[in-house]
Amino acid sequence: MRSILPMKLAKTGSILLSLFICILGLFLIFNPDFSPGILGNYAGAAMIVFGIVKIIGYFSKDLYRLAFQYDLAFGLLMITVGIMVILEPGNVIDSICVAIGVSAIMDGFLKIQISIDSRIFGIKKWWLILISAVITVAVGIMLLFRTSESTRVLMLFLGFSMLAQGILNLLTTILTVKIIKYQYPDIIDVDFE
């Protein structure tokens, strides 16, 4: 039998971090005058932790293997972008906008593919992932190609992007990660006589 601890860790970590990203997004929406420097540290640290959880999820081998199938590469990207955001304090708002915009677009595109795979797999609410992914891509594109240089407007875009990405990851984790208590390894050795 295989241990379900890595799967529980990945699912719980993904849910908690998705909720944290939603809360941070709502905070920015309601407090657009928040300090970009402090936000850079929080956003960078959150990206690094989220990247680590994504990598753990990739190796967890949950039952459906839908939610975490692309998370090795995405986790490494999140860690890299998080470090970049923390180490670029000079132009923090532009760094954050680019980092979160790119991660939202990439995450949205990957989740569109996961929604299609979920539909084929028979998950009834696959369309929730698809709609959320399309919204996340749209908000990520708006953030990446921002037309306003007002810090207040950029913070609102950041808030909406983080909220969309948090909801997307929360839906994907809840709908597609299934943990069965007694799982067997993927490969079963058979002796022929």
Q: For 54-59, what is the mean pLDDT?
A: 82
pLDDT 10s digits, 135-171: 999 999 988 887 666 778 888 888 999 899 999 989 9
- The span from the CA of 119 to the CA of 189, in Å, is 32
Helices (H), the chain: 5-30, 36-60, 71-87, 92-121, 126-144, 151-176
- The span from the CA of 39 to the CA of 20, in Å, is 13
- Is the pLDDT score of 57 beyond 90? no
- Closest of 76, 54, 77 to residue 67, by C-alpha: 54
The alpha carbon dihedral of 97, 134, 28, 50 has a sign of negative
Q: What is the band of 36 on the pLDDT scale with cuts at 50, 70, 90?
A: confident
- The span from the CA of 100 to the CA of 144, in Å, is 8
Query: Do residues 59 and 6 make contact, with C-beta atoms less than 8 angstroms apart?
Result: yes
pLDDT 10s digits, 68-108: 777 788 889 889 888 888 887 667 777 778 888 888 998 89
- The span from the CA of 52 to the CA of 58, in Å, is 10
pTM of structure: 0.80
Rg (CA), the chain: 18
